[in-house]
């Protein structure tokens, strides 16, 4: 803002030329620029002047002079770029800090939900909004697929089109949510209504089909029943396509307001550090002596070339100890801190990230789960200050790469509640197809896996991240779908001390194990 009117004055000259009196403007612009640069060294001053000149040159100003506003805008833009470029290479984002975006039907784009704080518990209509937003997300994505574009092979019809006719319809495709009626029969539901369905002779495509998941059903309509011939999930979409509908907003989370997904400087850092690694270890039972011994060997092996981060996922005790659980966990965390303190290179160069399991939280049945209480971890942090205790799930950004991590035994529940039993050998493929197509980490009924509706954005997989780690007691696997890698490190303590190693420079996941001592 300006304190006085410094609008340049035009003065008519005898020669017919127009002269501009800009002395006041020049003085203000010079004073402002000097105040911004006077605290810098000579080398830094030259560098900043080059940055400002480059930014101003890109604006393509039509006038041969600069106003104070031009200088202020350039300084602000360069400072913002410097802050974003200087942010830490690795950052951890709590589930409760993930930004929320809703789909605007009229503008056909996602807009940020502007709200200072979201309540933990929402009113019942929040549940309806939760499912409606998921439906709109999947529908707009489906309509962009080449099979569903206007005039192409398929056309999605809303449920009310079938409800409004008594005629037989030979072929129709519906996008809706699978639900059950009071008498136990299945039905499809979308924002326009619900319709009973028959699944006799239905062909199932890859995936787990449970209640409250969204499906594309193809079939015929007769006698007020939709007879489903084949059923599948909404088509997936590469992250590069999805991001165009969010503009330049930071949709993953973190300190930057704008997206840094394709930041050239950060991408170069990834490629120039082929030795960078992120370790994922799940089911770390700190109350088992053998587990601590294996962890010590793991730390010793990686102390020579410290990884970027070691992610330790719960449960952190082998059994639930009730009221004594937190006190016992605190004592074993102190023991773990003493082991880590033996390796100075890990203390200084490696980030330790702790994600709680179901038994590590008082709110064990509801996602997202909060981090471990401060009273439990404060003594650990004194010895290992480069550690972070976060939520379940959480998000990790390394350079330009986006990683989603969750600790949850979900595959067994999907198998038990699926309408169609998949082939046992293909279970990882079915699971990965399910969560990628649903764009959601836990596509289960809320009765089986309760979540906080207002924080469901933390469970979204849209746009697809680079890596999804779902730590499950199921066997280890690594699958890829639509450019997204999904991996399960499996149980470290209850298995053969297996874990996963992610190499960001090559985007590869390696199987690792702590063998028995010879």
The residue from 39, 67, 85 where one domain ends is 85
The residue from 85, 101, 117 where one domain ends is 85
Task: Check residue 10 and give its pLDDT.
Answer: 30
The Cα–Cα gap between 20 and 127 comes to 63
Beta bridge partners of 396: 92, 403
The residue from 85, 105, 127 where one domain ends is 85
Nearest 5°: CA angle at 40, between 38 and 43? 125
Task: Check residue 493 and give its pLDDT.
Answer: 96
Q: Look up the pTM and report it.
A: 0.84
**Between helices 23-37 and 42-59, what is the axis angle to 10°?**
130
Structural domain contains residue 440? yes
Concatenated DSSP letters of 393-456: SEEEEETTEEEEEEE---HHHHHHH-SSPPPGGGHHHHHHHHHHHHTBS--S-TTTS-B-GGGG
The Cα–Cα gap between 230 and 90 comes to 44
Task: Check residue 58 and give its pLDDT.
Answer: 56
Residues 6 or more apart in contact with residue 342 via CB below 8 angstroms: 296, 299
Domain count within the chain:
2
Task: Check residue 64 and give its pLDDT.
Answer: 60
Task: Check residue 383 and give its pLDDT.
Answer: 97
The Cα–Cα gap between 448 and 413 comes to 8
Task: Check residue 44 and give its pLDDT.
Answer: 66
Structural domain contains residue 392? yes
The Cα–Cα gap between 113 and 135 comes to 17
End-to-end alpha carbon distance in the chain: 74
Structural domain contains residue 201? no
Q: Are strands 225-232 and 169-180 parallel, antiparallel or unpaired?
A: unpaired
Q: Which residue has the tokens 């309806």?
A: 128
Containing structural domain, residue 325? 265-513
CATH code of the domain containing 297: 3.60.21.50
Contact yes or no for 123/130 (Cβ under 8 A) = no
The Cα–Cα gap between 457 and 435 comes to 14
Q: Which helix (H) or strand (E) holds 85?
A: helix 68-85
Structural domain contains residue 376? yes
Structural domain contains residue 241? no
Q: Is the peptide bond before 67 cis (omega within 30 degrees of 0)?
A: no
Mean pLDDT by 10 residues, the chain (518 residues): 36 39 61 69 69 65 64 66 62 95 91 80 81 96 90 86 89 95 91 96 96 97 95 96 91 86 84 93 97 97 97 96 94 98 97 96 85 96 97 96 97 94 88 98 94 94 97 97 98 94 96 88
Structural domain contains residue 254? no
The Cα–Cα gap between 353 and 387 comes to 6
Of 194, 164, 158, which is closest to residue 179 (Cα–Cα)? 194
Residues 6 or more apart in contact with residue 78 via CB below 8 angstroms: 48, 51, 52, 55
Structural domain contains residue 333? yes
Q: Are strands 467-471 and 401-407 parallel, antiparallel or unpaired?
A: parallel
Structural domain contains residue 404? yes
Task: Check residue 143 and give its pLDDT.
Answer: 94
Q: Go through the chain and tell me how many residues it has.
A: 518
**Between helices 23-37 and 68-85, what is the axis angle to 10°?**
20
Q: Are strands 351-355 and 387-389 parallel, antiparallel or unpaired?
A: parallel
Task: Check residue 119 and give its pLDDT.
Answer: 77
């Amino acid at each position: 803002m300006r304190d006085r009117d410094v609008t340049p004055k035009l003065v008519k000259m005898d020669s017919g030329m127009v002269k501009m009196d800009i002395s006041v403007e020049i003085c203000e612009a010079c004073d402002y620029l000097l105040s911004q640069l006077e605290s810098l060294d000579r080398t830094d001053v030259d560098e900043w002047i080059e940055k400002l000149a480059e930014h101003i040159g890109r604006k393509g100003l039509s006038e041969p002079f600069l106003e104070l506003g031009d200088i202020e805008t350039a300084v602000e833009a360069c400072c913002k770029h410097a802050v974003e470029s200087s942010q830490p290479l690795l950052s951890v984002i709590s589930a409760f800090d993930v930004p929320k975006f809703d789909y605007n039907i009229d503008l056909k784009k996602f807009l940020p939900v502007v709200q200072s704080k979201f309540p933990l518990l929402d009113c019942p209509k929040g549940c309806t909004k939760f499912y409606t937003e998921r439906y709109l997300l999947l529908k707009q994505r489906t309509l962009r697929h080449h099979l569903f574009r206007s005039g192409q092979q398929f056309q999605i019809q809303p449920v009310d089109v079938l409800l409004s006719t008594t005629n037989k319809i030979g072929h129709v495709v519906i996008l809706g949510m699978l639900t059950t009626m009071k008498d136990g029969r299945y039905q499809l539901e979308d924002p326009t209504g619900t319709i009973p369905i028959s699944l006799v002779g239905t062909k199932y495509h890859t995936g787990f089909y449970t209640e409250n998941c969204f499906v594309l059903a193809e079939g015929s309509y007769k006698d007020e029943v939709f007879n489903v011939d084949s059923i599948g999930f909404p088509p997936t979409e590469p992250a590069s396509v999805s991001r165009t509908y969010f503009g330049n907003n930071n949709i993953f989370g973190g300190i930057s307001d704008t997206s840094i997904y394709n930041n050239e400087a950060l991408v170069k850092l990834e490629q120039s550090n082929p030795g960078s690694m992120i370790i994922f270890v799940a089911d770390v039972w700190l109350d088992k002596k053998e587990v601590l011994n294996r962890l010590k060997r793991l730390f010793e092996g990686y102390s020579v070339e410290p990884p970027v981060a070691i992610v330790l996922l719960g449960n952190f005790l082998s059994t639930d100890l009730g009221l004594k659980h937190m006190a016992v966990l605190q004592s074993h965390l102190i023991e773990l801190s003493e082991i880590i303190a033996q390796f100075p290179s890990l203390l200084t160069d490696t980030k330790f990230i702790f994600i709680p399991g179901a038994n590590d939280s008082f709110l064990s049945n509801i996602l997202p789960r909060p981090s471990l209480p401060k009273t439990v971890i404060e003594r650990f942090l004194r010895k290992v200050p480069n550690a972070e205790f976060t939520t379940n799930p959480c998000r990790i950004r390394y350079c330009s790469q986006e990683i989603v991590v969750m600790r949850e035994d979900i595959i067994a529940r999907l198998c038990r509640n699926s309408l169609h039993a998949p082939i046992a050998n293909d279970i990882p493929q079915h699971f990965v197809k399910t969560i990628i197509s649903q764009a959601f980490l836990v596509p289960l009924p809320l009765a089986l896996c309760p979540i906080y509706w207002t924080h469901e954005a933390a469970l979204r997989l849209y746009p697809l991240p680079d890596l999804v780690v779902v730590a499950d007691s199921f066997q280890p696997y690594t699958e890829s779908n639509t450019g997204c890698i999904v991996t399960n490190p499996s149980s470290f303590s209850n298995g053969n001390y297996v874990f996963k190693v992610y190499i960001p420079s090559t985007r590869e996941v390696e199987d690792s194990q702590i063998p028995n001592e010879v």
